[in-house]
Amino acid sequence: MAFDLHRCAVPGDPDDLLLTRVYPAPLRSARTPFQRDRERIVQARAFRRLAGKTQVFTSRASDHFRSRLTHTMEVAQIARAVAATLGLNEDLAETLALVHDIGHPPFGHAGERALDRCLQRHGRRFDHNVHALRIVEHFEQRYAAHRGLNLTLGVREGIIKHSRDYSLEQHPELAEYLLDERPPLEAQLIDLADEIAYLTADLDDGVESGLLEIGRIREHVDILGRCYRQVERQHSGVDEKFLFNEALQLMQNILTDDLMETTARNVLAIGAECLADVRLHPARLARFSPQVEAERLQEKRYLYDTLYTCEPLETEHEKAEEVVTALFDHWINDPEELPVSHFEEVENQGLARVVADYIAGMTDSFILLQYAQIKRALPR
């Protein structure tokens, strides 16, 4: 299966606006600008910290659960394969997948919710896409001449727009990212590659954890039930665990093929001839078909009800909330306890934002260490 959407892809031509950088960077090798951005991201400290951040399960329970880093690599594989099959810019798609979760705080979504709640008390919000942009534009310090990674406009636009639209009214600071236009297809497909990766992985890790049962998944998740029956017909007398693995792989292929076919069909249907047609179309073109979209929603609801909000994970979420909130309050009350490089930012960014930035950058183990230290220092 191959589709030719090449005419709608982000071009690799160095004169293109999407390849421009804030600080001109002379080409030193034959690598394309997006290949250079991929290297800058993979070598970033924030990227390495993804290894220590929770996806759904904390690594303390098993070495086999996905971390945010291994999840990121799974998304990158899917995004690159989809972009290649559709004739899109593979380097841009892979780079955007590698950076898509770089703005996540420790403890997964529980950590993000807690940090957002803390910031709301100070009239601010926490948003991991906006935070990812701040990481690549300001916090990473690898170059003598400027702060940040000096990424191309195409990658920075994709970071902010890969999963949702932002209004200029609410985010005037994002004006340079053409907020009234849709992002290129390479950015649009990242959110769906992300969905494909975690819909597969979370069933896998859920069973590994003992919190989900294969039989019940087959009963309640139609797409997995369908795949399971098919592999059961092909492999008789095989252990349930192997059938489940085969069914997960089949489900991932079905989701990926559907994304490619539906996106290509949508592009054809509006007669898009170039990137501008994709950008000016009122809706995103990268999508699943209505049937697969309904199955995706059904599975997502199942994961939410039976896994993400199950008691053992909710206990971890409460602990995460307690740790994030206690540390946030600690540094709000005593800013001089912040590391010097963060304390110096308070004048420009405001204390609440600086404290949230510091916490958001932490791994699970580092934040627990900080928490243990402040607890020890408290009077008994």
**Which residues 6+ apart lie within 8 Å of 192 measured at CB?**
259, 286, 287, 288
DSSP 8-class letter at 9: S
State how far the Cα of 352 lies from the Cα of 121, in Å rounded to an integer: 9
Q: How far is the CB of 30 from Mg ion (least distance, A)?
A: 31
Closer to Mg ion at the Cβ: 101 or 202? 101
Contact assessment for residue 93 and residue 83, using Cβ atoms and an 8 Å cutoff: yes
Q: Report the residue number whose CB is nearest to Mg ion.
A: 194
Q: How far is the CB of 9 from Mg ion (least distance, A)?
A: 23
> Residue 112 interacts with Mg ion (CB under 5 A)?
no
Stretch that binds Mg ion, among 105-113, 191-199, 255-263, 342-350 (CB under 5 A): 191-199
Of 194, 258, 299, 321, the residue at the interface with Mg ion (CB under 5 A) is 194
Q: How far is the CB of 29 from Mg ion (least distance, A)?
A: 30
Map the footprint of Mg ion across residues 13-32, applying CB under 5 A: none
> Residue 364 interacts with Mg ion (CB under 5 A)?
no
DSSP 8-class letter at 176: G
Q: How far is the CB of 77 from Mg ion (least distance, A)?
A: 13
Stretch that binds Mg ion, among 35-43, 113-121, 189-197, 218-226 (CB under 5 A): 189-197
Closer to Mg ion at the Cβ: 201 or 223? 201
Stretch that binds Mg ion, among 93-101, 158-166, 226-234, 358-366 (CB under 5 A): 93-101
DSSP 8-class letter at 30: S
> Residue 202 interacts with Mg ion (CB under 5 A)?
no
Stretch that binds Mg ion, among 11-19, 190-198, 288-296, 371-379 (CB under 5 A): 190-198
Give the N- to C-terminal CA distance of the chain in Å, as an integer: 66
Write the DSSP string, 330-373. Answer: HHHH-GGGS-HHHHTTHHHH-HHHHHHHHHHT--HHHHHHHHHH
Q: Which of 250, 320, 254 is nearest to 292 (CA)?
A: 254
DSSP 8-class letter at 247: H
Closer to Mg ion at the Cβ: 90 or 194? 194
Per 3-state DSSP, the chain is made up of helix, strand and coil in percentages (nearest 5) of 65, 0, 35
Helices (DSSP H) in 144-221: which residue ranges?
153-161, 185-209, 214-220
> Residue 205 interacts with Mg ion (CB under 5 A)?
no
Q: How far is the CB of 71 from Mg ion (least distance, A)?
A: 6
Stretch that binds Mg ion, among 39-47, 101-109, 227-235, 276-284 (CB under 5 A): 101-109
**Which residues 6+ apart lie within 8 Å of 338 measured at CB?**
331, 346, 354, 355, 358
Residue 151 main-chain phi, psi, to 5 deg: -80, 160
Q: How far is the CB of 102 from Mg ion (least distance, A)?
A: 10
Stretch that binds Mg ion, among 22-30, 96-104, 298-306, 354-362 (CB under 5 A): 96-104
Of 37, 101, 157, 195, the residue at the interface with Mg ion (CB under 5 A) is 101
> Residue 191 interacts with Mg ion (CB under 5 A)?
no
Closer to Mg ion at the Cβ: 44 or 275? 44
Q: Which residues pair with 67 in a beta bridge?
A: 54
Residue 24 main-chain phi, psi, to 5 deg: -55, 135
Closer to Mg ion at the Cβ: 101 or 140? 101
- CA 269, 271, 275, 280 torsion: positive or negative? negative
Neighbours of 311 (CB within 10 A): 8
Q: How far is the CB of 26 from Mg ion (least distance, A)?
A: 34
Interface positions with Mg ion (CB under 5 A):
101, 194
